Amino acid sequence: MKVMSGEDKSKPLPFKKVADELTSKFIRARPKEAEKILNALPLPEQLALALSRRGKERLQLILLSKRSQSLVRALPEPELYFTLKELGEEESLPLLAMAAPAQLTYVFDLEFWESDLLVPEKYSRWLELLRQADPAQFQNWLMRADPELLTTMLSKLVSVWVVDPDNLGAEPWREEENLFTLDEQYYFSALDENLRPLAERALVGLRELDAEKFYTILDEVRLTPVTETEATAYRVRQGRLSDHGFYDFDEAFSIYQFLSPARMAELEQNPERPEPKKTPAGRYPILLSKEVPSFLASSLQELSPLELEDFHHQFARLCNKIMVADVMDLTELDNLKLAVEKVYGYLELGLSAWARGHTPEATALLRRQWLDHIFSAGFSEALKLRFRGQRLADAPWFKSAGRPFHLFGEIDGSRLRGLLEPRPKFYAGGKSLGLREFRSMNDLRSAEKSLARAEFCGRLFFEALGLAELKLQKLIAAYPLELTFEVILATWLVNGAVKAQPDFESIAPKDLAHFVERGTRLDSGQRKIAAQAKAEMLNRLKSRAEAAKSISQDLLTRFFETAVGELESELTGIKDVKNIDPRYLNAIVLKNPAEKSPGKKEGKS
What are the extents of the domains in the chain?
9-74, 88-243, 245-438, 469-584
- Residue 264's alpha-carbon distances to 198, 270, 271, 370, 429, in angstroms, are 54, 10, 9, 12, 33
Q: What is the pLDDT of residue 11?
A: 53
| The pairing of beta strand 432-436 with beta strand 186-190 | unpaired
pLDDT mean over 211-225? 95
Q: Is residue 153 a contact partner of residue 198, using CB atoms and an 8 Å limit?
A: no
Which amino acid appears at position 355 of this protein?
Answer: A
The rounded percent of the chain whose pLDDT value lies above 70 is 95
Q: How far apart, in whole angstroms, are the C-alpha atoms of residue 434 and residue 487?
A: 25
C-beta neighbour count of 311 within 10 angstroms: 21
Q: What is the pLDDT of residue 314?
A: 94
Q: What is the pLDDT of residue 603?
A: 40
pLDDT mean over 309-336? 94
Q: What is the pLDDT of residue 199?
A: 94
Q: Is the pLDDT of residue 604 over 50?
A: no
Taking the CA atoms of 253, 254, 256 and 258 in sequence, report the sign of the dihedral they define.
positive
Q: What is the pLDDT of residue 167?
A: 84
C-beta neighbour count of 65 within 10 angstroms: 20
CB-based contacts of 314, cutoff 8 Å, min separation 6: 273, 274, 370, 371, 372
CB-based contacts of 441, cutoff 8 Å, min separation 6: 295, 348, 349, 352, 353, 357
Burial, 563: exposed, middle or buried (Cβ in 10 Å; 0-12, 13-18, 19+)? Answer: buried
| CA dihedral angle for residue 301, residue 307, residue 309, residue 314, rounded to 10 degrees | -100
Q: Is residue 375 a contact partner of residue 350, using CB atoms and an 8 Å limit?
A: yes
Q: Is residue 303 a contact partner of residue 366, using CB atoms and an 8 Å limit?
A: yes
Q: What is the pLDDT of residue 595?
A: 54
Q: Is residue 506 a contact partner of residue 479, using CB atoms and an 8 Å limit?
A: no
Q: Is residue 163 a contact partner of residue 157, using CB atoms and an 8 Å limit?
A: no
C-beta neighbour count of 337 within 10 angstroms: 14
Q: Is the pLDDT of residue 8 over 50?
A: no
pLDDT category at 387 given cuts 50, 70, 90 is very high
pLDDT category at 57 given cuts 50, 70, 90 is very high
Q: What is the pLDDT of residue 6?
A: 38
Q: Is the pLDDT of residue 577 over 80?
A: no
| The pairing of beta strand 180-181 with beta strand 432-436 | unpaired
Which amino acid appears at position 443 of this protein?
Answer: D
Identify the residue with better confidence: 275 or 483. 483
Q: What is the pLDDT of residue 210?
A: 92
Q: What is the pLDDT of residue 430?
A: 75
Beta strands in 497-603 (DSSP E): 520-523, 526-529
Q: Is the pLDDT of residue 114 over 60?
A: yes
- Collapsing DSSP to helix, strand or coil, 602 comes out as coil
Q: How far apart, in whole angstroms, are the C-alpha atoms of residue 238 and residue 11?
A: 48
Specify the DSSP element, H or E, that contains 484: none
pLDDT category at 168 given cuts 50, 70, 90 is confident
Q: Is the pLDDT of residue 605 over 60?
A: no
Q: What is the pLDDT of residue 552?
A: 87
| CA dihedral angle for residue 303, residue 345, residue 248, residue 308, rounded to 10 degrees | -10
Q: How far apart, in whole angstroms, are the C-alpha atoms of residue 277 and residue 319?
A: 17
Q: Is residue 35 a contact partner of residue 22, using CB atoms and an 8 Å limit?
A: no
Q: What is the pLDDT of residue 284?
A: 79
pLDDT mean over 59-76? 95
Least confident window among 167-181, 251-265, 454-468, 560-574 = 167-181
Q: What is the pLDDT of residue 14?
A: 67
Q: What is the pLDDT of residue 278?
A: 81
Long-range contacts of 494-503 (CB under 8 A, 24+ apart): 494/567, 494/588, 496/537, 496/540, 497/533, 497/536, 497/537, 502/540
Q: Is the pLDDT of residue 277 over 80?
A: yes
- Per the DSSP assignment, residues forming a β-bridge with 162 are 186
